Structure 1
Amino acid sequence: MQALLAQAQQMQQAVMQAQAELAESEVQGQAGGGLVQATIKVSGEITALTIDPKVVDPADVDGLQDLVIGAINDAMTNAQQLAADKLGPLTGGAGGGALPGLPDF
């Protein structure tokens, strides 16, 4: 039983370390073939937004807005994938629920 508790504690420490690393990680997303790029932290905070002047058309503000939204959504998808890649092996694909080998209470 003690070995199982020690294993669970090690797993918890590994998950906490991975979460700390994720909190500092940034990912990028893009739209329009890279004409609009968004950089976000995995937490969802937008840290940078780059818009190529070629797509700035005062007559087509809606198109630019769509590109910005697309770049941010792409970055969010990349952030979720990074989190799944880092935490998935540690949680056994349970998304942070049960520990591997233990029942989900």
Structure 2
Amino acid sequence: MKAIWNNTVIAESDQTVEVENNQYFPPESINSEFFNLSDTHTVCPWKGRASYFHLKVGDEKNTDAAWFYPHPKPEAAQIKNHVAFWNGVKIEK
């Protein structure tokens, strides 16, 4: 699986985890040069507290376009620190 934004592969893995129709990429599969930690957090009732990344490719910024669960609840342990995307990021096989 590949996560693509602004014509750039920002994450790639053959070991993603699918949860609620989102592909969660292992932390080692992201190209960290394109990721900046955000101050944004949200809470999912069963997964826990999510943290976000901004994406920056070239001069383009995509605010809070990726999220992850650094300390998920036990039922979501399989996605700990895995990164999922939205807001225009394309996921392709």
Q: Same fold, TM exceeding 0.5?
A: no
**If the length of structure 2 is used for normalisation, what is the TM-score?**
0.28
Whose Rg is larger? 1
Give the strand-richer structure, 1 or 2: 2
Give the helix-richer structure, 1 or 2: 1
**Structure with more contact order per residue of length (Cα contacts < 8 Å, sep ≥ 6):** 2
